Structure 1
Amino acid sequence: MSRNPRNPIFPAGVDLPAAGGGGPLVRLWRARSELLLVLTLALVALTLLTATQQGRWVPLLLLTSAISVPAATRMGRNWIAAHFWCVFSRHRLQRVCLETTMHTRAGRIPLVLWITPTTTGEKALILTRAGISAEKFEAYSEEIAAACWARSVNVYRHRTRAQLLIVEIVRRDEVPGADAPGLDRLYGRRAWVSLRPDLEEPPDLRTQVMLSQVG
Protein backbone atom coordinates (compact mmCIF):
# COMPACT_ATOMS: atom_id res chain seq x y z
CA MET A 1 0.00 0.00 0.00
CA SER A 2 1.40 3.39 -0.98
CA ARG A 3 1.54 6.13 1.60
CA ASN A 4 -1.03 8.91 1.27
CA PRO A 5 0.69 12.26 1.96
CA ARG A 6 -2.65 13.73 3.06
CA ASN A 7 -2.94 11.40 6.03
CA PRO A 8 -2.11 12.82 9.47
CA ILE A 9 1.53 12.28 10.39
CA PHE A 10 1.07 12.78 14.12
CA PRO A 11 -0.06 10.05 16.56
CA ALA A 12 -3.59 10.31 17.87
CA GLY A 13 -4.15 11.37 21.46
CA VAL A 14 -0.90 13.32 21.72
CA ASP A 15 -1.00 17.01 22.61
CA LEU A 16 1.06 18.96 20.12
CA PRO A 17 2.06 22.62 20.09
CA ALA A 18 -0.17 24.94 18.13
CA ALA A 19 0.82 25.17 14.49
CA GLY A 20 2.53 28.32 13.36
CA GLY A 21 5.20 28.39 16.01
CA GLY A 22 8.46 30.16 15.39
CA GLY A 23 10.83 32.62 16.93
CA PRO A 24 10.75 36.40 16.51
CA LEU A 25 13.04 36.24 13.47
CA VAL A 26 10.70 33.80 11.71
CA ARG A 27 7.68 35.99 12.43
CA LEU A 28 9.52 39.07 11.17
CA TRP A 29 10.48 37.16 8.00
CA ARG A 30 6.86 36.23 7.34
CA ALA A 31 5.73 39.85 7.73
CA ARG A 32 8.69 41.38 5.88
CA SER A 33 6.62 42.87 3.07
CA GLU A 34 4.13 44.52 5.40
CA LEU A 35 6.89 45.85 7.66
CA LEU A 36 8.76 47.28 4.70
CA LEU A 37 5.59 48.96 3.44
CA VAL A 38 4.84 50.50 6.85
CA LEU A 39 8.44 51.69 7.17
CA THR A 40 8.33 53.26 3.70
CA LEU A 41 5.03 55.02 4.39
CA ALA A 42 6.33 56.31 7.72
CA LEU A 43 9.47 57.61 6.05
CA VAL A 44 7.45 59.32 3.31
CA ALA A 45 5.10 60.90 5.86
CA LEU A 46 8.02 62.15 7.94
CA THR A 47 9.70 63.62 4.86
CA LEU A 48 6.52 65.38 3.78
CA LEU A 49 5.90 66.76 7.24
CA THR A 50 9.45 68.07 7.54
CA ALA A 51 9.32 69.65 4.09
CA THR A 52 6.04 71.47 4.75
CA GLN A 53 7.20 72.76 8.14
CA GLN A 54 10.35 74.19 6.57
CA GLY A 55 8.46 75.66 3.63
CA ARG A 56 10.37 73.58 1.10
CA TRP A 57 7.79 72.77 -1.59
CA VAL A 58 10.11 71.45 -4.31
CA PRO A 59 11.02 68.21 -2.46
CA LEU A 60 7.33 67.82 -1.62
CA LEU A 61 6.30 68.07 -5.27
CA LEU A 62 9.07 65.72 -6.40
CA LEU A 63 8.17 63.11 -3.82
CA THR A 64 4.44 63.21 -4.50
CA SER A 65 5.10 62.99 -8.24
CA ALA A 66 7.40 60.01 -7.77
CA ILE A 67 4.59 58.23 -5.92
CA SER A 68 1.54 59.28 -7.92
CA VAL A 69 2.87 59.09 -11.49
CA PRO A 70 3.71 55.34 -11.45
CA ALA A 71 0.33 54.59 -9.89
CA ALA A 72 -1.39 56.54 -12.68
CA THR A 73 0.23 54.53 -15.48
CA ARG A 74 -0.90 51.12 -16.64
CA MET A 75 2.54 49.61 -16.08
CA GLY A 76 2.64 50.97 -12.54
CA ARG A 77 -0.81 49.65 -11.72
CA ASN A 78 0.08 46.23 -13.12
CA TRP A 79 3.24 46.16 -11.01
CA ILE A 80 1.29 47.05 -7.87
CA ALA A 81 -1.39 44.44 -8.60
CA ALA A 82 1.16 41.71 -9.37
CA HIS A 83 3.05 42.26 -6.12
CA PHE A 84 -0.19 42.51 -4.15
CA TRP A 85 -1.07 39.02 -5.36
CA CYS A 86 2.42 37.85 -4.38
CA VAL A 87 1.90 39.00 -0.80
CA PHE A 88 -1.63 37.57 -0.78
CA SER A 89 -0.51 34.17 -2.09
CA ARG A 90 2.38 34.00 0.38
CA HIS A 91 0.03 34.45 3.33
CA ARG A 92 -2.47 31.97 1.90
CA LEU A 93 0.26 29.37 1.39
CA GLN A 94 1.25 29.77 5.02
CA ARG A 95 -2.40 29.44 6.09
CA VAL A 96 -2.81 26.19 4.12
CA CYS A 97 0.26 24.78 5.88
CA LEU A 98 -1.25 25.73 9.24
CA GLU A 99 -4.66 24.23 8.47
CA THR A 100 -3.37 20.93 7.02
CA THR A 101 -0.66 18.47 7.97
CA MET A 102 2.10 20.47 6.26
CA HIS A 103 3.76 21.42 9.54
CA THR A 104 6.08 19.69 11.99
CA ARG A 105 5.29 18.27 15.42
CA ALA A 106 6.67 21.51 16.88
CA GLY A 107 4.17 23.53 14.83
CA ARG A 108 6.66 24.92 12.32
CA ILE A 109 5.61 25.45 8.73
CA PRO A 110 7.76 25.55 5.56
CA LEU A 111 9.47 28.83 4.72
CA VAL A 112 8.40 30.81 1.67
CA LEU A 113 11.84 32.08 0.69
CA TRP A 114 10.73 34.09 -2.31
CA ILE A 115 7.66 34.68 -4.41
CA THR A 116 7.62 36.46 -7.77
CA PRO A 117 5.04 37.37 -10.44
CA THR A 118 4.74 35.34 -13.64
CA THR A 119 2.74 35.67 -16.85
CA THR A 120 0.00 33.46 -15.37
CA GLY A 121 0.18 34.20 -11.65
CA GLU A 122 2.94 33.69 -9.14
CA LYS A 123 5.78 31.29 -8.32
CA ALA A 124 6.90 30.63 -4.76
CA LEU A 125 10.25 29.14 -3.77
CA ILE A 126 9.74 27.08 -0.62
CA LEU A 127 12.15 25.48 1.84
CA THR A 128 10.51 22.50 3.52
CA ARG A 129 10.92 21.40 7.12
CA ALA A 130 11.98 17.95 8.30
CA GLY A 131 9.12 15.52 7.70
CA ILE A 132 7.60 17.49 4.81
CA SER A 133 8.27 16.83 1.13
CA ALA A 134 7.25 18.18 -2.25
CA GLU A 135 4.86 15.24 -2.62
CA LYS A 136 2.83 16.56 0.30
CA PHE A 137 2.45 19.94 -1.40
CA GLU A 138 1.31 18.14 -4.55
CA ALA A 139 -1.25 16.19 -2.52
CA TYR A 140 -2.69 19.47 -1.22
CA SER A 141 -2.53 21.29 -4.56
CA GLU A 142 -6.32 21.68 -4.75
CA GLU A 143 -6.45 23.20 -1.27
CA ILE A 144 -3.62 25.59 -2.17
CA ALA A 145 -5.40 26.65 -5.37
CA ALA A 146 -8.63 27.30 -3.48
CA ALA A 147 -6.88 29.23 -0.73
CA CYS A 148 -5.03 31.43 -3.26
CA TRP A 149 -8.19 32.04 -5.34
CA ALA A 150 -6.42 30.47 -8.32
CA ARG A 151 -7.30 28.12 -11.17
CA SER A 152 -4.72 25.48 -10.38
CA VAL A 153 -1.36 24.83 -8.75
CA ASN A 154 1.71 23.03 -10.11
CA VAL A 155 4.49 21.75 -7.86
CA TYR A 156 8.09 21.25 -8.97
CA ARG A 157 10.88 19.63 -6.96
CA HIS A 158 14.55 20.49 -7.32
CA ARG A 159 16.53 17.77 -9.07
CA THR A 160 19.37 17.61 -6.53
CA ARG A 161 17.98 19.39 -3.44
CA ALA A 162 14.76 17.74 -2.33
CA GLN A 163 14.20 20.34 0.40
CA LEU A 164 13.57 23.01 -2.24
CA LEU A 165 10.41 23.19 -4.29
CA ILE A 166 8.47 25.63 -6.43
CA VAL A 167 4.73 26.15 -6.13
CA GLU A 168 3.41 27.67 -9.35
CA ILE A 169 0.07 29.41 -8.86
CA VAL A 170 -1.95 29.71 -12.08
CA ARG A 171 -4.75 32.26 -11.80
CA ARG A 172 -5.22 33.54 -15.37
CA ASP A 173 -4.32 33.03 -19.02
CA GLU A 174 -0.83 34.02 -20.07
CA VAL A 175 -0.32 37.77 -20.23
CA PRO A 176 2.51 38.78 -22.60
CA GLY A 177 5.05 41.04 -20.97
CA ALA A 178 3.81 40.43 -17.42
CA ASP A 179 6.69 38.14 -16.44
CA ALA A 180 9.36 39.55 -14.16
CA PRO A 181 12.94 38.33 -13.67
CA GLY A 182 12.63 35.84 -10.87
CA LEU A 183 12.81 32.15 -10.11
CA ASP A 184 13.32 30.99 -13.69
CA ARG A 185 16.23 33.30 -14.35
CA LEU A 186 17.93 32.71 -11.00
CA TYR A 187 17.61 28.95 -10.73
CA GLY A 188 16.88 27.88 -14.29
CA ARG A 189 13.93 25.88 -15.54
CA ARG A 190 15.90 22.68 -16.09
CA ALA A 191 16.70 22.37 -12.38
CA TRP A 192 13.08 21.53 -11.50
CA VAL A 193 11.04 18.36 -12.01
CA SER A 194 7.26 18.27 -12.18
CA LEU A 195 5.51 15.86 -9.83
CA ARG A 196 2.74 15.20 -12.34
CA PRO A 197 3.49 12.60 -15.04
CA ASP A 198 0.98 14.21 -17.39
CA LEU A 199 2.56 17.65 -17.02
CA GLU A 200 5.54 18.20 -19.23
CA GLU A 201 8.66 19.71 -17.77
CA PRO A 202 8.70 23.50 -18.32
CA PRO A 203 10.78 24.18 -21.43
CA ASP A 204 13.63 26.61 -21.49
CA LEU A 205 12.56 30.18 -22.26
CA ARG A 206 14.71 30.31 -25.40
CA THR A 207 13.14 27.09 -26.63
CA GLN A 208 9.69 28.59 -26.14
CA VAL A 209 10.61 31.65 -28.19
CA MET A 210 12.09 29.52 -30.99
CA LEU A 211 9.02 27.31 -31.15
CA SER A 212 6.71 30.33 -31.30
CA GLN A 213 8.74 31.82 -34.12
CA VAL A 214 8.70 28.57 -36.10
CA GLY A 215 4.94 28.22 -35.63
Structure 2
Amino acid sequence: MPRNPRNQIFPANEDLPAARGGGPLVRLWRARAELLVAATLTLATLTLLDATREGRWVPFLLLTSAISAPAATRTGRNWIAAHFWCVFSRHRLQRVCLETTMHTRAGRIPLVLWITPTTTGEKALILTRAGISAEEFEAYSEEIAAACWARSVNVYRHRTRAQLLIVEVVRRDEAPGAASPGLDRLYGRRAWVSLRPELEEPPDLRTPVRLAQVG
Protein backbone atom coordinates (compact mmCIF):
# COMPACT_ATOMS: atom_id res chain seq x y z
CA MET A 1 0.00 0.00 0.00
CA PRO A 2 1.56 3.37 -0.98
CA ARG A 3 2.60 5.78 1.79
CA ASN A 4 0.87 8.69 0.06
CA PRO A 5 -0.71 9.44 -3.34
CA ARG A 6 2.57 10.71 -4.80
CA ASN A 7 4.08 7.24 -4.48
CA GLN A 8 1.56 5.93 -7.01
CA ILE A 9 0.93 8.65 -9.57
CA PHE A 10 -0.25 6.22 -12.27
CA PRO A 11 -3.53 4.27 -11.94
CA ALA A 12 -2.94 0.69 -10.87
CA ASN A 13 -4.92 -0.70 -13.81
CA GLU A 14 -3.13 1.38 -16.46
CA ASP A 15 -0.86 -0.54 -18.82
CA LEU A 16 2.31 1.55 -18.95
CA PRO A 17 5.44 0.96 -21.02
CA ALA A 18 8.53 -0.08 -19.14
CA ALA A 19 10.84 2.73 -18.06
CA ARG A 20 13.84 3.03 -20.30
CA GLY A 21 17.26 4.57 -19.94
CA GLY A 22 16.97 6.83 -23.00
CA GLY A 23 18.50 6.90 -26.45
CA PRO A 24 22.17 6.52 -27.40
CA LEU A 25 22.99 10.19 -26.88
CA VAL A 26 21.33 10.21 -23.47
CA ARG A 27 23.23 7.08 -22.46
CA LEU A 28 26.51 8.61 -23.59
CA TRP A 29 25.74 11.76 -21.58
CA ARG A 30 25.01 9.73 -18.46
CA ALA A 31 28.24 7.77 -18.86
CA ARG A 32 30.36 10.86 -19.57
CA ALA A 33 32.44 10.54 -16.40
CA GLU A 34 33.27 6.90 -17.00
CA LEU A 35 34.05 7.54 -20.68
CA LEU A 36 36.36 10.42 -19.76
CA VAL A 37 38.23 8.28 -17.22
CA ALA A 38 38.53 5.42 -19.72
CA ALA A 39 39.81 7.76 -22.44
CA THR A 40 42.36 9.31 -20.07
CA LEU A 41 43.65 5.92 -18.93
CA THR A 42 43.86 4.68 -22.50
CA LEU A 43 45.80 7.75 -23.61
CA ALA A 44 48.14 7.47 -20.63
CA THR A 45 48.77 3.79 -21.31
CA LEU A 46 49.53 4.37 -24.99
CA THR A 47 51.87 7.24 -24.11
CA LEU A 48 53.75 5.12 -21.58
CA LEU A 49 54.10 2.21 -23.98
CA ASP A 50 55.36 4.49 -26.74
CA ALA A 51 57.87 6.16 -24.40
CA THR A 52 59.28 2.88 -23.07
CA ARG A 53 59.60 1.37 -26.55
CA GLU A 54 61.70 4.34 -27.66
CA GLY A 55 63.78 4.34 -24.50
CA ARG A 56 62.53 7.74 -23.31
CA TRP A 57 62.13 7.43 -19.55
CA VAL A 58 61.60 11.09 -18.68
CA PRO A 59 58.00 11.20 -20.06
CA PHE A 60 57.38 7.89 -18.33
CA LEU A 61 58.49 9.22 -14.95
CA LEU A 62 56.61 12.51 -15.36
CA LEU A 63 53.36 10.80 -16.34
CA THR A 64 53.50 8.15 -13.65
CA SER A 65 54.25 10.83 -11.04
CA ALA A 66 51.31 12.94 -12.21
CA ILE A 67 48.99 9.93 -11.96
CA SER A 68 50.24 8.58 -8.63
CA ALA A 69 50.69 11.91 -6.83
CA PRO A 70 46.97 12.43 -6.03
CA ALA A 71 46.74 8.98 -4.44
CA ALA A 72 49.81 9.69 -2.30
CA THR A 73 48.28 12.73 -0.56
CA ARG A 74 45.28 12.96 1.73
CA THR A 75 43.80 15.81 -0.28
CA GLY A 76 44.12 13.82 -3.49
CA ARG A 77 42.52 10.73 -1.95
CA ASN A 78 39.65 12.84 -0.58
CA TRP A 79 39.11 14.38 -4.02
CA ILE A 80 39.06 10.98 -5.71
CA ALA A 81 36.69 9.50 -3.11
CA ALA A 82 34.34 12.51 -3.25
CA HIS A 83 34.01 12.33 -7.03
CA PHE A 84 33.62 8.56 -6.95
CA TRP A 85 30.59 9.01 -4.69
CA CYS A 86 29.25 11.68 -7.07
CA VAL A 87 29.29 9.20 -9.96
CA PHE A 88 27.84 6.48 -7.74
CA SER A 89 24.98 8.68 -6.49
CA ARG A 90 24.19 9.90 -10.01
CA HIS A 91 23.72 6.34 -11.25
CA ARG A 92 21.71 5.36 -8.18
CA LEU A 93 19.40 8.37 -8.59
CA GLN A 94 18.74 7.34 -12.17
CA ARG A 95 18.09 3.76 -11.06
CA VAL A 96 15.55 4.88 -8.45
CA CYS A 97 13.70 6.86 -11.13
CA LEU A 98 13.61 3.78 -13.37
CA GLU A 99 12.46 1.44 -10.60
CA THR A 100 9.73 3.72 -9.20
CA THR A 101 7.08 5.94 -10.78
CA MET A 102 9.46 8.91 -11.18
CA HIS A 103 9.30 8.65 -14.96
CA THR A 104 6.84 9.72 -17.61
CA ARG A 105 4.30 7.47 -19.30
CA ALA A 106 6.77 7.25 -22.19
CA GLY A 107 9.41 5.91 -19.78
CA ARG A 108 11.66 9.02 -19.67
CA ILE A 109 13.36 9.86 -16.38
CA PRO A 110 14.53 13.25 -15.03
CA LEU A 111 17.94 14.56 -16.04
CA VAL A 112 20.78 14.86 -13.52
CA LEU A 113 22.33 18.06 -14.87
CA TRP A 114 25.14 18.31 -12.36
CA ILE A 115 26.27 16.61 -9.16
CA THR A 116 28.88 18.03 -6.84
CA PRO A 117 30.55 16.85 -3.59
CA THR A 118 29.82 18.51 -0.26
CA THR A 119 31.26 18.14 3.23
CA THR A 120 28.46 15.68 4.13
CA GLY A 121 27.86 13.91 0.83
CA GLU A 122 26.66 15.13 -2.55
CA LYS A 123 24.18 17.55 -4.10
CA ALA A 124 22.53 16.84 -7.46
CA LEU A 125 20.86 19.45 -9.65
CA ILE A 126 17.94 17.80 -11.44
CA LEU A 127 15.69 18.87 -14.30
CA THR A 128 12.31 17.13 -14.06
CA ARG A 129 10.19 15.90 -16.94
CA ALA A 130 6.56 16.87 -17.56
CA GLY A 131 4.38 15.15 -14.98
CA ILE A 132 7.11 14.93 -12.31
CA SER A 133 7.71 17.44 -9.51
CA ALA A 134 10.03 18.01 -6.57
CA GLU A 135 7.30 16.75 -4.23
CA GLU A 136 7.55 13.32 -5.78
CA PHE A 137 11.29 13.20 -5.07
CA GLU A 138 10.47 14.14 -1.47
CA ALA A 139 7.94 11.28 -1.29
CA TYR A 140 10.65 8.87 -2.44
CA SER A 141 13.41 10.33 -0.25
CA GLU A 142 13.77 7.13 1.79
CA GLU A 143 14.13 5.03 -1.35
CA ILE A 144 16.73 7.44 -2.72
CA ALA A 145 18.69 7.37 0.55
CA ALA A 146 18.70 3.56 0.57
CA ALA A 147 19.77 3.38 -3.08
CA CYS A 148 22.64 5.84 -2.51
CA TRP A 149 23.80 4.04 0.68
CA ALA A 150 23.24 7.28 2.57
CA ARG A 151 21.86 8.38 5.92
CA SER A 152 19.13 10.60 4.53
CA VAL A 153 18.10 12.76 1.59
CA ASN A 154 16.87 16.35 1.54
CA VAL A 155 14.99 17.82 -1.43
CA TYR A 156 14.93 21.53 -2.34
CA ARG A 157 12.83 23.16 -5.05
CA HIS A 158 13.80 26.29 -6.96
CA ARG A 159 11.69 29.27 -5.87
CA THR A 160 10.80 30.46 -9.37
CA ARG A 161 11.65 27.49 -11.61
CA ALA A 162 9.63 24.53 -10.39
CA GLN A 163 11.24 22.20 -12.94
CA LEU A 164 14.58 22.49 -11.13
CA LEU A 165 15.33 20.81 -7.84
CA ILE A 166 18.27 19.79 -5.69
CA VAL A 167 18.65 16.38 -4.09
CA GLU A 168 21.08 16.54 -1.17
CA VAL A 169 22.54 13.17 -0.22
CA VAL A 170 23.72 13.12 3.41
CA ARG A 171 26.02 10.16 4.05
CA ARG A 172 28.27 11.31 6.93
CA ASP A 173 28.89 13.99 9.55
CA GLU A 174 30.27 17.25 8.27
CA ALA A 175 33.99 16.85 7.62
CA PRO A 176 36.62 18.65 5.55
CA GLY A 177 37.17 17.19 2.11
CA ALA A 178 37.00 17.92 -1.58
CA ALA A 179 33.79 19.96 -1.41
CA SER A 180 33.23 22.16 -4.43
CA PRO A 181 31.88 25.76 -4.30
CA GLY A 182 28.39 24.33 -4.70
CA LEU A 183 25.32 24.92 -6.76
CA ASP A 184 24.61 28.37 -5.35
CA ARG A 185 26.74 29.97 -8.06
CA LEU A 186 24.14 29.01 -10.64
CA TYR A 187 21.02 30.53 -9.12
CA GLY A 188 22.08 32.05 -5.82
CA ARG A 189 22.20 30.66 -2.31
CA ARG A 190 18.66 31.82 -1.44
CA ALA A 191 17.02 30.50 -4.60
CA TRP A 192 16.05 27.14 -3.10
CA VAL A 193 13.30 26.23 -0.65
CA SER A 194 13.08 23.04 1.39
CA LEU A 195 10.04 20.81 1.04
CA ARG A 196 10.12 20.05 4.75
CA PRO A 197 8.13 22.51 6.89
CA GLU A 198 10.54 22.34 9.82
CA LEU A 199 13.13 24.21 7.75
CA GLU A 200 12.01 27.83 7.85
CA GLU A 201 14.66 29.12 5.46
CA PRO A 202 16.47 27.57 2.50
CA PRO A 203 19.94 26.41 3.54
CA ASP A 204 23.23 27.93 2.56
CA LEU A 205 24.12 25.51 -0.22
CA ARG A 206 27.81 25.98 0.45
CA THR A 207 27.30 24.60 3.99
CA PRO A 208 24.97 21.56 3.87
CA VAL A 209 22.37 21.20 6.63
CA ARG A 210 23.24 18.65 9.29
CA LEU A 211 20.86 15.91 10.32
CA ALA A 212 20.35 17.51 13.74
CA GLN A 213 19.01 20.63 12.06
CA VAL A 214 16.71 18.68 9.78
CA GLY A 215 15.30 16.39 12.40
TM-score calculated relative to the size of structure 1: 0.89
- CA–CA separation in structure 1 for the residues paired with 2:62 and 2:165: 43
Residue aligned with 1:169, SS: strand
**Cα displacement string for residues 98-144 of structure 1 (whole angstroms, at most 9, x for unaligned residues):** 11000011111000000000011000000000100000000000000
Aligned positions of 1:172-191 closer than 5 A: 172-176=172-176, 178-191=178-191
Q: Which residue of 2 aligns with 1:211?
A: none
Give unpaired runs (5+ residues) of structure 1. Answer: 209-215
Deviation at residue 204 of structure 1 after TM alignment: 4.1
- CA–CA separation in structure 1 for the residues paired with 2:207 and 2:38: 42
- What CA RMSD, in Å, does the superposition of the two structures yield over aligned residues? 1.9
TM-score calculated relative to the size of structure 2: 0.89
CA contact (8 A) 1:10 1:105 kept: no
Residue aligned with 2:190, SS: helix
**Residue identity in the other structure for 1:92:** R
- CA–CA separation in structure 2 for the residues paired with 1:134 and 1:12: 25
Residue aligned with 1:5, SS: helix
Deviation at residue 43 of structure 1 after TM alignment: 0.6
Residue aligned with 2:68, SS: helix
Moved more, 175-184 or 37-46: 175-184
Identity, % of aligned positions:
84
**Cα displacement string for residues 158-183 of structure 1 (whole angstroms, at most 9, x for unaligned residues):** 01111100000001111135421231
CA contact (8 A) 1:21 1:106 kept: no
Give unpaired runs (5+ residues) of structure 2. Answer: 209-215
- CA–CA separation in structure 2 for the residues paired with 1:4 and 1:37: 41
- Number of residue equivalences: 205
Residue aligned with 1:146, SS: helix
Q: Which residue of 1 aligns with 2:166?
A: 166
CA contact (8 A) 2:182 2:205 kept: no
CA contact (8 A) 1:157 1:165 kept: yes
Relative to structure 1, the CA distance from residue 167 to residue 146 in structure 2 (aligned partners, 3 Å threshold; closer, same or farther) is: same
**Residue identity in the other structure for 1:87:** V
